[in-house]
């Protein structure tokens, strides 16, 4: 168990990240958190921002009551703001919002209103600062993310295969695509720390094929490595069959079924990891309460398949799986960007 106390090195890590975000003296910056946020990270953000002479204030909201039939994890859509107009107006009036809510505001319905007047938002993932310290942003990530994002936006189709049996085709033409580098600059921009992800939200009816989660792959909603393979059949965006004989498949079937919502079975976003310093094996070193799993979403060369809400396809649900797969090959049209779990040289660090 890591100790939850303020360390100078963790203030330095937050200060470096805010330096990358071009925080300036006199900027108005809000720290948004909730009663179940990681208090240590809120304190570190406040102390680091104080170094820059920003006009800082904090908003702490009650963590909403649970309404789902099962625990909700890692949706990227915090319900803490709950449509509150005073809160939205206060955040929208800022130059920058440091988002320390538990689930994050990246996919929250209030986000467009918060950004509309030019505010930028950085979601600090709900990790212990020991994780954040290892994955402070690096300037070189920007060019690599931009290069990979341009390749994704220019493509018509993503084709994902693996020796384990994955064979998935995704129509990416017309999809909303974005890249997360780990810091945020410019107006109406969003990003998350740790960063290093390229992803898109496909339009409706764009995803078909088979996904094989092999032993050692991860179900990040459960913060669990798989011991036995799980096979997912996907037809017109929706998982129609979950096959496998072990506990891993049984857990997935149970969680899917608990929602009683067809949209929980649908594709949310797909993409690949770009962060060479992120470790797929790091979960073994932490208690579950100490991590949110963003490191495992961004480790270099993973194929990330996520189920749940997809605004671009007009599907909304709190049911969500983030499933990073190792050892996949990802092709955009006829161009390989990940080869058997390794980034191709033009995208690698």
* Between 209 and 107, residue with greater pLDDT: 209
Q: How confident is the model at residue 130 (pLDDT cuts 50, 70, 90)?
A: very high
Q: Which pLDDT value is given to residue 154? A: 97
Q: Quick one: average pLDDT of 4-16?
A: 97
Specify the long-range contacts of residues 303-306, CB closer than 8 Å, at least 24 apart.
303/160, 303/166, 303/270, 303/271, 303/272, 303/328, 303/330, 303/338, 304/197, 304/199, 304/269, 304/270, 304/271, 304/272, 304/273, 305/168, 305/211, 305/267, 305/270, 306/267, 306/268, 306/269, 306/270
Give this prediction's pTM. Answer: 0.94
Average pLDDT taken over every residue of the chain: 95
Its sign, for the CA torsion 131, 135, 137, 142, is: negative
Instruction: Answer yes or no: is pLDDT of 73 > 90.
Output: no
pLDDT level of residue 1 (50, 70, 90 thresholds): low
The pLDDT confidence band at residue 2, using thresholds 50, 70 and 90, is confident
Report whether pLDDT(94) > 80.
yes
pLDDT over 90 (residue 262): yes
Say if CB 137 and CB 183 are below 8 A apart: yes
Please state at what angle helix 39-50 crosses helix 8-20, rounded to 10 degrees.
60
The predicted structure's pLDDT at residue 90 = 97
pLDDT, tens digit (0-9, with 9 covering 90-100), for 27-69: 999 999 999 999 999 999 999 999 999 999 999 999 999 888 8
When mean pLDDT is compared over 75-79, 309-313, 318-322, the highest value belongs to: 318-322
Q: How far is CA 289 from the centre of its chain?
A: 17
CATH 3.40.50.2300 residue spans of the chain: 8-134
State how far the Cα of 240 lies from the Cα of 236, in Å rounded to an integer: 9
CATH class for domain 8-134? alpha beta
% of the chain with per-residue pLDDT over 70: 99
Residue with tokens 């909603």: 221
């Amino acid at each position: 168990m890591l100790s939850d106390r303020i360390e100078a090195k963790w203030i330095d890590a937050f200060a470096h990240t805010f330096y990358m975000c071009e925080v300036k003296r006199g900027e108005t910056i809000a720290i948004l958190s909730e009663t179940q946020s990681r208090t240590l990270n809120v304190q570190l953000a406040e102390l680091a921002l104080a170094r820059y002479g920003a006009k800082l204030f904090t908003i702490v909201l009650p963590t909403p009551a649970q309404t789902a039939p099962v625990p909700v994890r890692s949706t990227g859509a915090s319900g803490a703001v709950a449509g509150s107009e005073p809160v939205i107006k206060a955040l929208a009036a800022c130059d920058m919002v440091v988002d320390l809510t538990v689930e994050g505001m990246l996919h929250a319905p209030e986000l467009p209103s918060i950004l509309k007047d030019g505010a930028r938002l950085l979601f600090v993932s709900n990790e212990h600062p020991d994780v954040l310290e290892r994955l402070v942003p690096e300037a070189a990530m920007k060019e690599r993310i931009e290069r990979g994002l341009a390749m994704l936006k220019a493509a018509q189709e993503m084709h994902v295969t693996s020796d384990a049996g994955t064979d998935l085709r995704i129509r990416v033409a017309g999809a909303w695509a974005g890249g997360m580098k780990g810091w945020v600059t410019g107006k109406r921009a969003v990003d998350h720390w740790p960063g290093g992800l390229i992803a898109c939200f496909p339009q409706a009816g764009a995803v078909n094929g088979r996904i094989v989660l092999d032993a050692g792959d991860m179900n990040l909603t459960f913060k669990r490595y798989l011991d036995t393979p799980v096979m997912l059949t996907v037809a017109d965006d929706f998982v129609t069959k979950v096959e496998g004989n072990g506990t891993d498949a049984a857990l997935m079937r149970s969680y899917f079924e608990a929602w009683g919502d067809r949209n929980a079975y649908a594709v949310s976003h797909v993409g690949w990891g770009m962060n060479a310093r992120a470790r797929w094996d790091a979960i073994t070193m932490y208690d579950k309460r100490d991590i949110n799993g963003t490191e495992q979403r961004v480790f270099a060369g993973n194929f990330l398949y996520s189920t749940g809400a997809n605004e671009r396809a007009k599907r909304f649900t709190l049911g969500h799986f983030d499933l990073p797969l190792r050892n996949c090959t990802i092709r955009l049209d006829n161009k390989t960007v990940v080869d058997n779990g390794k980034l191709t040289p033009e995208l690698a660090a």
